[in-house]
Structure formats: structure tokens, C-alpha cells
Amino acid sequence: MRMAPAVPGHATHAEELTGAAVRLPPGGVVLGSGQDGVLVVRLFRAQPVRLCIHSAGQLAQLIAYRAMALGAHVTVVTDTVSAWSRLVQSVPRGPAWFTVLPAGSRVTATGTITRPSLVIDATSDNRALPRWEQGQWQTFASVDREITPSDLHVLRTYDLLVTQRLQPTAAEIARRAFGLAPDRATWLTQMPAGVLAVAAPGQLAFGQMTVSNAEQRLLGS
């Protein structure tokens, strides 16, 4: 996770290109933008990644949509299959990019370096995948609509937290789970609408969530 600077433009002549280098921002899923650049999350890695998405809205669907744009296969396990129908209808036909399964279904998804896998647990009790073993180039995301004191231990098992504004109790739990400085809990409670935070152990970044016109139509936002 990092705030990537915008790529500068520069006009030059062909004879001046010897030894020229272009510095590009890091690859990953773009979640937002801020004064320091673009908020990019490296969602897929050789080692399995665990992600917690805290949102009462459609943040999980936005992340799923952008992961597919990167070439990932997305599997969603949910007890409200119909809530994902608009996204299902938007995915091009052909190779399976997107699979939505009812709660209790067996997940068989695997990931590779050329086609990583995102598995989203969007069930109400977040216990959809008791026998699923996460592999390489595979990210597991749990959608949580609330954070309570009993979640502290579970939150510590995640590599990343993506969240919108938190209530004070939830913010303190998130701060402790990711080893953030004491004042960061206050920051998490004061985010304006449309701003999200990404936490990793010892790190916290903020960005204004940017949604394209196509994404607004797709998600009904």
C-alpha cells in the first residue's frame, strides 16, 4: 500500500532518449486519490493475502470490479446473491471472470501469477469458507459491517483493512489490531464521507474514493 505520485509528462526528441528512464507508479488496485497522489493497494502477491473490508455500502463490489479489470477471477460467497446480480450481468461472456455462490457452497478457486484469485466472503456471519485453503496469488476478503471488541483477535490475522469512517470503539479496535499510533483512532473517526482508509501493520493511508461514471451506473450509486 502506498500513495503513488502522478506520472509526470515530458516532451523530448528521439535522439535525447539514450539512458532515459520512466518511473511508473506501483501496480495494484486503485482505491482513491489524495494530495500526495493515488492510493494503490497491492492486492495480489505470491503469498496469500487476507483483507478485511468494513463498509455498509458497496465498497466490496467496487473492489471486486476493479480486481477483474486487473485480470483477476473473483468468487463471492453470499447469502444475498441478488445483491450482486448487476455486477454479474456487466461481466463479459467468455472465460469465467466472476462467480457468485450462495452461502455454504464449496469454493474451488485457485490463483496464478497471470490470473490471480479474489475470494470474497460476504455472508452475514463471515463463516462461509470453513474448509477452504488459501493458496498462492490468492486474496481472501471478508466483508464486515461492524467491528466489535470480540473482533480484535480476528482483525490481527488480516494483512489489510479497507474502511470508511468508524465509530470510536471500532476505530480503537482497528488501531490496536494493526499496531497504529494512538492518535490514529481519532483520524479514523473523523473521515469525511467519500474518504476511505487502508491500514496495514504499522501503516495507515487515506484517499478520496474515486468512482467513474460507469462504476456509478453499475453500482447504482
- Per-residue pLDDT tens over the stretch 176-220: 999 999 998 999 999 998 899 999 999 999 999 888 888 888 777
Sign of the torsion formed by the C-alpha atoms of 65, 70, 71 and 72: negative
User: Residue 104 has what pLDDT?
Assistant: 84
Question: What residues does 2 pair with on adjacent strands?
Answer: 40
CA pair distance 213, 165, nearest whole angstrom:
23
CA pair distance 22, 123, nearest whole angstrom:
44
Smallest Cα–Cα separation from 170: which of 196, 147, 191? 147
Enter the C-alpha cell of residue 31: 482505491
What domains sit in the chain, N to C, each tagged with a CATH number? 30-219 (3.40.50.300)
> How would residue 221 be classed by pLDDT, with cut points 50, 70 and 90?
low
Q: In which order are the strands placed within the sheet that holds 117-122?
A: 2-4, 37-41, 29-34, 203-209, 195-200, 160-163, 49-54, 138-144, 117-122, 73-78, 98-102
Q: Does residue 12 register a pLDDT over 70?
A: no
**Average pLDDT across the chain, whole number:** 84
pLDDT digits (tens, 9 = 90+) for 130-145: 555 788 999 999 999 8
pLDDT digits (tens, 9 = 90+) for 116-133: 999 999 988 766 555 557
Q: Does residue 72 register a pLDDT over 50?
A: yes
